[in-house]
Amino acid sequence: MQHLTLLTFLAIVAVSLACKCKDQSTKESFCNADWVSHVKVKARVSKQQLPDGSERRGLNNLRYTVQHVDVFKTPANLTTLPNEIFTPSESPACGLKIDAGKEYLLAGRVEGPNALFTVLCGQVLPDDRAAVAFENVLEWKNVPEALQTEIKAIKC
């Protein structure tokens, strides 16, 4: 009985520490983001500090070096997107774990003057979530054609 109680307690702790995201429509996610891009991930480096001017402190960040294959949204103050994207390294902080060599549809905000930052919440997904079963970050090969067309036409 003690083992069952301990397992139940650990399960509750794990759920309470999990990343929780608010459901958003495709348009809401797109419009709330500062940037949206089809990226190819070149490299991932751990224990990174965000550039000066960013709100998040410490070395608990991952830095992804990316190639922007197709940019769907850029903030007004940038003409091109930087090739580095930062995310928290901790799952409870909703950090992204993506793989070098793969392509993704990513969205996020700009921290400081020009540092790209992204988290699990707010990624652009189709309104029909069944089309991407259980994915919160879309690998580009799994982005439905309809979503590709939709994000090119969204007006915020």
* Binding-site residues from annotation for Zn(2+): 19
User: Residue holding tokens 């850029």?
Assistant: 74
Q: String of b and e for 57-95 (b: at least 16 CB within 10 Å)?
A: eeebbbbbbbebeeebbbeeeeeebbebbbbbbeeeebb
Q: String of b and e for 120-132 (b: at least 16 CB within 10 Å)?
A: bebbbbbeeeeeb
Compute φ and ψ for 5, nearest 5 degrees: -65, -45
Rg of the chain on CA atoms, in Å = 17
For 70, residues 6+ apart whose C-beta sits below 8 A from its C-beta are: 37, 38
Distance CA 6, CA 20 (A): 24
How many Cβ atoms from other residues are within 10 Å of residue 22's Cβ?
A: 7
